[in-house]
Amino acid sequence: MDHAQIESFLTEQPWLRQLEAFDRKALASALQIKEFAVGDEIISQGAKAHHVYLLLEGSVRVEIERDGERQVVRPLEPGSLFGILALLDHRPRAAACVATEPVVVGMLERSAFEVLSHQHARIAYPFQRALGAQLAADFRWAVRQIEHRLVAVS
Amino acid sequence: MTDSIDPAAFEARFADYLSHLGGVDVAALASVLERRPVRSGDVLISQGAPHGELLFVDSGILDVTVANASETPHTVASLEAGAVVGEVGVLAPGPATATVSCAGAGVVFALRSSALDALWSQHPAVASSLVQALCQVMARRIRSVEGDLDRLHDHERGRLGDLLNRLFGRAA
């Protein structure tokens, strides 16, 4: 994927439609592109966080290990952001993310994310809204898991 | 929207919450809030129903109630002046995870999800700081719930009441 393709991809994302074209271009240029093969672990649970990821192509599965067992959380489709939590709170990665198809991601470094957040509010805001929406979805998912577990043991 | 919210009074009331916003322009934030008198018995957020507002409790008491398939509805928290609820909904409007109702008359200030976008168009730095802070709140909650899931993995049923209270007391 070249930068023109990335810009085109960003243009298609609903959460970035509010951005001007030159702002999308700036965001695209801040992303580092990386490819992963099927089975590659893009993020390892417990690892230190250096990037937040935008899935550009392929499919990724989120997995959490508990007591030695890997639980599949959910699949991610192109346009999904992942690796958010640890980037925000500077704690170890909460889950693993594994490529289930050949994957292309755009990676935004922590330092770039922090510069964006603190110095370029106009561009940062739609990105932060997307992060927030993903976090809210993650929270709702976790609450549903609790509810299902409670029903199961009641 | 209304201009009837006094930014100084708002800042004093929500000083703790606003301290996490990094010196956000309170007047700008107050300008997009909706002042809403509430009466005892009013249901502000209904579990399972679409919800998309952040509520700042200026006065009165709000009860947070949770019902699930295995338990009768029960109150897990009472929110008083200075409390804020609804971070999940304002970030991503959708089904509420708890019911929030008024146990005593008062006033809330509501920030609609759409008002965040209006704030961004006029005060991008304020909107960005606020969303960043809300994301931090959500990150803490997700870590906490993930911890609850870990504990639930091994918990016996007798200890689930405490877990419910800790979880849903901050879930709306």
- B24, part of any domain: yes
How does residue A66 score in pLDDT terms, banded at 50, 70 and 90? confident
Give the residue among B88, A87, A89 at the shortest CA–CA distance from A97: A87
pLDDT digits (tens, 9 = 90+) for A32-50: 999 999 999 999 999 999 9
Per DSSP, helices labelled H in A57-120 are 84-89, 110-119
- B2, part of any domain: no
Q: Which CATH number is B71's domain given?
A: 2.60.120.10
Tell me how many domains chain B contains: 1
CA gap A8, A142 in Å, rounded: 33
How does residue B172 score in pLDDT terms, banded at 50, 70 and 90? very low
pLDDT digits (tens, 9 = 90+) for B41-94: 999 999 989 999 999 999 999 999 988 766 677 888 899 999 999 999 999 999
- B111, part of any domain: yes
Mean pLDDT for the stretch of residues A118-144: 88
pLDDT: which is higher, A74 or A103: A103
How many inter-chain contacts (A to B, CB under 8 Å) are there? 115
- B91, part of any domain: yes
Give the residue among B168, A65, A142 at the shortest CA–CA distance from B160: B168
Contacts of B146 in chain A (CB under 8 A): 64, 94, 142
Q: What is the percentage of chain A residues whose pLDDT exceeds 70?
A: 97
Tokens for A7, please give them. 């810009």
In contact, A17 and A66? CB cutoff 8 Å: no
pLDDT digits (tens, 9 = 90+) for A72-97: 888 999 999 999 999 989 999 989 99
Q: Is B83 on the interface with A (CB under 8 A)?
A: no
Q: Which domains does chain A have, with CATH numbers?
A: 32-153 (2.60.120.10)
pLDDT at A19 > cutoff 90: no
Interface of B with A in 27-56 (CB under 8 A): none
- B43, part of any domain: yes
- B162, part of any domain: yes
pLDDT digits (tens, 9 = 90+) for B112-160: 999 998 999 898 888 998 998 899 989 998 998 888 777 777 664 455 5
The confidence score (pLDDT) of residue B91 equals 93
The confidence score (pLDDT) of residue B171 equals 45
Which range marks the domain in which residue B138 is found?
7-168
Mean pLDDT of chain B: 84
Contacts of A138 in chain B (CB under 8 A): 142
